[in-house]
Structure 1
C-alpha cells in the first residue's frame, strides 16, 4: 500500500521480486543498483546464506519524479525462494504495491518454477492478497543460456491465467531487460495509484516504511 509523506512530498511504493530459488532475483536488484545514479538510490542491503542467495530481503529505494510536485520512491525487495522461509516470504509481501515474478528459463528448472509459482500464489492467499488487485510482471530470466526452454512453454506453465501479465525475456547477469522489467512494473504501480487518486481512494499520510525495513533487517 502506497505511503504518502506530505511533509517530504514523497509517495513510497513497495515492489517485491519473487520467484525460483537462485533464479536471478538478487541479480536483478544488483544490476539496478549498479546502473542508477548514486544520488537517486539508497544502499543495497543483502542477507545471504548458502541455502539461498537471499535469506530475508534486498532493499533498494529508487526515486523518480511524479505529478503535482511529489516524488515517487520505489522500495525494491526480494523474498527467499524456498518454501521453508514462508514466514519471511509473507512478511515481505505485506503492503506490496507491485510484484515481479522471476522464473529460471533453464529446461531443468521447470519443476522448480512451477513449485515457486504455486508457493508465490499460496503466500499471497495466506496474506489476504490477490493478483486481481496487485500489478504483476513476469520475467523469464537466463534466456542467454543454451538450455533455455521455449518461451511458449514457460508462458504455458506460468502465465496462462484469466488475466495475462506482461512478461519479458531477460538475462539479469548481463543486464538484458532488467531495467525494462522495473520500468514496466513501476508504470503499472503508478497507473493504479493515479487511478485511485482520481477515485478518491488514496491512503492517508503516515510514517516512513524505511524504518520498518531496518527493523526487519535487525539493524
Structure 2
C-alpha cells in the first residue's frame, strides 16, 4: 500500500532482475528522458566493478489539481545472489515492479532463477505477487546472441504481465516499459485512493504528470 498522508502520496517502484541485466541503465535513461514537475538526481552506490551493491534511487513527482503531491521513488536491487537480503529489503513495501531480463540466450537460466527469486521474495516480505503491478522487460535486444522476439513472446504468451523489449543503453523501450507500469499502478490504486474522484487525476493525467508530458 502506498504511503499516504493529508498532503502527499508516495509510490515505491522496484526494478528487479539478474546481475547486469540493465536495471541501473533503465533508471539513468529515465532520468535523461523524463521531465516531470519534480525530479531528483539519481542516487547510486556501486562496487568497484560497477555492479549495484545496495540500490539506485530516482525520485519523481507532480502535484494533482486537488493539491495532492504524488511522488514516485524508483529503486533497483542488486542482481548478485549474494545480496539476497538487500534485495528483500529493497523490495519490501513495493507498489510495483519491473522485471528486467537479459535477452542473451546464455542468460536464460539466470533470468529464470531471478524471476523465481523475485516471486519468493515478494511472498517473504508480504507482497501479493499475484496482484502487484508487474511489467516484464527483455533488455539488450541489440546483442548478437539475443533470443528472437517471437520466441520470447511465444514462451510468455500465457503470462498475465505486459511484455516489453528494450535497449536501455540507447533508451529504446525504456519509457514504454515504465509507462506500462504506471498504467497498471494507476488501475490498481485509483478506486481505493480516489485519484480521479477526489484528486482530479485520471489515468492519462497520472501518466502525463509522471512522464512530464503536456
TM-score band, normalised by shorter chain: 0.7 to 0.9
State the 1:51 CA deviation: 5.8
Q: Does 1:46 align with 2:51?
A: no
Length-normalised TM-score, structure 1: 0.81
CA-CA distance at 1:94 after TM superposition: 0.8
**Matched residue SS, 1:86:** helix
* Other-structure match for 2:129: 131
- What are the Cα deviations for residues 30-53 of structure 1, in whole angstroms up to 9, with x where unaligned? 111122338621121111114661
Contact 2:102 2:111 in 1 (8 A): yes
Contact 1:52 1:81 in 2 (8 A): no
Residue 87 in structure 1 maps to residue 82 in structure 2: no
Which structure has the highest strand share of the two? 2
Does structure 2 conserve the Cα–Cα contact (< 8 Å) formed by 1:138 and 1:165?
Answer: yes
Unaligned runs of 5+ in 1: 199-219
SS at match of 2:43: coil
Unpaired stretches in structure 2, ≥5 consecutive residues:
195-214
Equivalent pairs, count:
194
CA distance in 2 between counterparts of 1:24 and 1:178 reads 10
Matches within 5 A, 1:189-200: 189-197=185-193
Report the secondary structure of 1:59's partner residue.
strand
Partner of 2:9: 11
2:64, 2:177 → 1: CA distance? 19
Q: Shift in Å at residue 144 of structure 1? A: 1.7
| TM-score, normalised with respect to structure 2 | 0.83
